[in-house]
Amino acid sequence: MITTNAFILRRYNIRDADRIYTLYTERLGKVEAIATGVRKIKSKLGSHLEPCSVVAVTLVRGRMGWRLVNASREQSFFSIHKDLERFALAMTALETVDALTKQEYPDQRIFTIIKTLFHDAVTKKETASIEPFLYALLSALGYRPLPNSIGPSLFASPLFTDHLHYPLRSVRYRTIDARNAP
């Protein structure tokens, strides 16, 4: 049994009253967990398992994967729901983390980057930008985006400057000409 903080990246319904949640946790990284009975009216877990919040979850490893057995909201960022631009930014960030991270590969830096983005989206008056988040996330994952491909506003962001001390790997991409492809 493991208790850890998590962000909810994605959720989808299965069967009559169950859901599968994709979580990004502090201790386990990205995990898919089944929560049984959360769609029932009297469910105690359902109200805590909403996007835009840090949730303390208890996970148990079963034969079929992880089961989510307990949840309580630690920190809520629900004011993001009031502003469409901030909500779109938050959902884009969560979808990006879901798409780029591996299952059960823990990285505390990624959790901190997500939490920083949500905190900035709530506390700052101007709308936050996705660019510093993407740069920090890609840097934490080991990719080094080209500075010229991202706007100059990025380099003034605390997300960029806080993650400069991490070792970066450059990735080379091979381009394929569609006319000569096999």
Query: Which residues sit opposite 23 in a β-bridge?
Result: 8, 31
Phi, psi of 73 (to 5 degrees): -75, 125
Spell out the long-range contacts of 37-45 with Cβ–Cβ below 8 A and sequence spacing 24 or more. 39/13, 43/17, 45/70, 45/71
> Each residue of 123-156: pLDDT tens digit?
877 767 788 888 889 888 888 766 555 554 444 4
This prediction's pTM: 0.76
| 3-state SS assignment for residue 142 | coil
Q: What percent of the chain has pLDDT over 90?
A: 34
Q: Are 39 and 18 in contact (CB under 8 A)?
A: yes
Amino acid 138 reads L
> Each residue of 92-129: pLDDT tens digit?
999 999 999 999 899 999 999 999 888 888 887 776 77
Residues with Cβ within 8 Å of 128's Cβ and at least 6 positions away in sequence, in order, are: 86, 89, 117, 120, 121
